[in-house]
Amino acid sequence: MDTIDDLFPQEQSAIARAVPRRRQEFAAGRRAARDALAGLGRQAAPIAVGSDRAPIWPDGCAGSISHDAEFAVALVARSDDFRCIGVDMEPDLPLPDDVTAEVLQGGEVAIAQTGGNADRAIFCAKEAAYKCLYPITHEVIGFDAMTVSFPAQNRFCAMLLRETGPFPKGFVLNGTVLRAASRIVSMVWLDASQPR
């Protein structure tokens, strides 16, 4: 089990006042991130927390973390290959009605009515897209800032409905959505060759 004792001092201080469950989830997320960094040949190093609560990745790396009470997932890549990455993990359950009303835009309502917890898949895709964009934009955006479609099995497109940082209205992020262990996991990335 991952505990606060497994964290670097900088990481421990970031969650010193958190409740035990939050500390355990944070530690599991950092463990997953360090395992991913090791896969790139990187030595264990702190993944600090910025003033905006976002992870600060080691130089030369881009990444994203998602966790809940049972699982943690992290994606990490060399920033020479990927500008940014977003990952989100959600329970494979319907969204609560009050959240659904906030999340769904236009055609997403029809997608959600197809069943299979499509409303949660839309939520998960938007969260992953937001996490991907945030390291570049440093802009907090709502669910109404993008719309999600599923052009093929296990694929999604998140299109911006307004300009966000350097990204114009209509900009599309392409991602992957998977189901495993009663979770929905969405991943999206921008490769380093995309215009800045």
Q: pLDDT tens across 110-159, in order?
A: 999 988 999 999 999 999 999 999 999 999 999 999 999 999 999 999 99
DSSP lists the bridge partners of residue 177 as 186
Q: pLDDT tens across 35-89, in order?
A: 999 999 999 899 999 999 999 999 999 999 999 989 999 999 999 999 999 999 9
Q: pLDDT tens across 75-124, in order?
A: 999 999 999 999 999 999 999 999 999 999 889 999 999 889 999 999 99
* Structure confidence at residue 1 (pLDDT): 47
Structure tokens at 67: 């966790």
Structure tokens at 10: 């900088």
| Contact between 2 and 27 (Cβ < 8 Å) | yes
* Structure confidence at residue 32 (pLDDT): 95
* Structure confidence at residue 86 (pLDDT): 98
Query: Which residue in the block uniquely carries the two structure tokens 């955006």?
Result: 141
DSSP tag of 6 = G
Q: If you count them, how many residues does the chain have? A: 196
- Output the DSSP codes for 12-38: HHHTTTS-HHHHHHHHHHHHHHHHHHH
Strands (DSSP E) along 8-119, which ranges?
A: 48-49, 55-56, 61-67, 72-78, 82-91
